[in-house]
Amino acid sequence: MKRTTGLLAAALLASTAVGASAETLRWARAGDSLTLDVHAQNEGPTHTLSHQIYEPLIIRDHDGQMQPALATSWAPKADDPTVWVFELREGVTYHDGSDFTAEDVVFSINRAKTPDSDMKELLTSITEVRAVDDYTVEIVTDGPNPILPSNLTNLFMMDKGWAEENDTVEVQDVEGGEQTYATANANGTGPFRLISREPDVRTVLERNEDYWGIDEFPLEVSRIEYTPIQNAATRVAALLSGEVDFIQDVPVQDLGRVAETEGLVVKTAPQNRTIFFGLNMGADDIANDDVEGENPLADANVRKAMNMAINRDAIKQVVMRGQSEPAGMIAPPFVNGWSEAMDETTTDVDAAKALMEEAGYADGFSIQLDCPNDRYVNDEAICQAVVGMLGQIGITVNLDAKPKAQHFPLITNGETDFYMLGWGVPTYDSEYIFNFLVHTRTDERGSWNGTGFSNPEVDEMIVSLASETDLEVRNDTIQSIWEVVQDETIYLPVHHQVLNWGMSEDVITEVSPEDDPKFKFFEMN
């Protein structure tokens, strides 16, 4: 608490010294971006900061609609549906003055396909990227891919020359602890330039006066001062006192207080994100339990029992103060493949106990739960509630909560047996979920599948989605995959998250379902 408050005070003191104006937006949220290397982490707050500095070919606005960004048009080639043609915006420059060309697109997509990239699952169908001329790019896929554009909305374009000059051609190896020039420095085409960055303390951006869209977007914010504030009470206090103008994550317990404060506004909307728990069902034995020589999570009855023991309605009412939607599947309602029937939930402690007894664990067992404490709304409190719920069926859960920067590598490195994760779906299609969370972990897919689940038939179905142009057949395949996911209880869904943005009444914006404010759309009174 002392450290958080001290960092905030130092950051706000620096902000005051600069001299905040009506066009300065002082922004806070619970956690910081994990890196400035735009292909190293597929994570919401990381993308949000990147969107201010860098740009993709196609962008989603705050209504979730796709709009041209660095590409002005895109379409499959008339005589070859395996080739998408992208016409690029001319006259765009990077922040250092270098021209944006097709060469940068070829470089960026190929870079994002490499093993250390956390974006590679989005690009698995791409076999070649070629520059036809300076402002035309062709992307070749291994079959007709009708949703390829949806996979590119968070795929940022880097300057090839800048990357080469600064020895950042390779993507940062986050899991290996690598730090590169691109980790803390940036050169994008976006509406804001990076002025300074101190991770987990303060990042300052200023408007790019040479931005190609300077006359197309409001761009009324001239300076952004970003201060991560993990402690919820401190974050709200900063908004209430006027020390910050905008926070993305108003704690649910403080919604009324903020909304009733003169000069402040709370805006709420469903988020395109589901919160859930993953279970290491694939290992023969697991480390963080008290069962010797076997893995209780490998038993489907144990997984089903754990799922039935979680009282999502209680979490909604007590932990989330009504600000969540109980979930029975790990896809939010925004997503193609979601169904109301699969999203239904059941809590039955007696039936769960019977399943535990049937599995041979009538006396239960103990296990460690790994949980972030600065990423999702009330993440640690949700974990604490689930600890008590699982205790009712004999499972003693030892909770280990830590910042997301330490939590996420546990999943991607396969070092956790029971963990919390939240998943947004920027493509609005189930294929995105399957590629990252369900497919067998390989060099190309399954990078966030910490469960050990592996089914070759399911893998084949997942791969087929990228090239199936008959949408009825494709949707049938999606449903078949979901039936396996649900039947196997690979994950324990908790709820679909609800967004609560708090802001000064001088800040004018609508809530993005992706929880990724793009400040070029903001207006300021």
Give 429's DSSP letter.
Answer: B
- Alpha-carbon distance 432 to 338, whole Å? 13
Fold match flag (2-245+506-524 vs 271-497)? no
Count other C-beta atoms under 10 Å from residue 213's C-beta: 17
Level-2 CATH architecture, domain 2-245+506-524: 3-Layer(aba) Sandwich (3.40)
pLDDT value at residue 107: 98
Among residues 304, 300, 263, 282, the alpha carbon closest in space to that of 493 is found at 304
Q: Where are the domains of the chain?
A: 2-245+506-524, 271-497
What's the pLDDT tens digit per position in 207-235?
999 999 999 999 999 999 999 999 999 99
Which stretches of 168-210 are DSSP H helices? Answer: 181-184
Q: In the structure encoding, which two tokens stand for residue 463, read together? A: 């791969």
Count other C-beta atoms under 10 Å from residue 252's C-beta: 19
- Alpha-carbon distance 399 to 383, whole Å? 7
Query: 271-497, which class in CATH?
Result: alpha beta
- Alpha-carbon distance 362 to 482, whole Å? 30
What's the pLDDT tens digit per position in 112-152?
999 999 999 999 999 999 999 999 999 999 999 989 999 99
pLDDT in tens, the chain (525 residues): 333 344 444 444 444 433 344 599 999 999 999 999 999 999 999 999 999 999 999 999 988 899 999 999 999 999 999 999 999 999 999 999 999 999 999 999 999 999 999 999 999 999 999 999 999 999 999 999 989 999 999 999 999 999 999 999 999 999 889 999 999 999 999 999 999 999 999 999 999 999 999 999 999 999 999 999 999 999 999 999 999 999 999 999 999 999 999 999 999 999 999 999 999 999 999 999 999 999 999 999 999 999 999 999 999 999 999 999 999 999 999 999 999 999 999 999 999 999 999 999 999 999 999 999 999 999 999 999 999 999 999 999 999 999 999 999 999 999 999 999 999 999 999 999 999 999 999 999 999 999 999 999 999 999 999 999 999 999 999 999 999 999 999 999 999 999 999 999 999 999 999 999 999 999 999
Please name the residues in contact with 325: beta carbons below 8 A apart, sequence gap of 6 or more.
270, 316, 333, 495, 496, 498
**pTM for the model:** 0.90
- Alpha-carbon distance 471 to 116, whole Å? 32
SS3 76: strand
Contact (CB, 8 A) for 338 and 287: no
Phi, psi of 30 (to 5 degrees): -65, -40
Q: Tokens 């974050």 appear where? A: 235
Count other C-beta atoms under 10 Å from residue 257's C-beta: 15
pLDDT value at residue 311: 98
pLDDT value at residue 175: 85
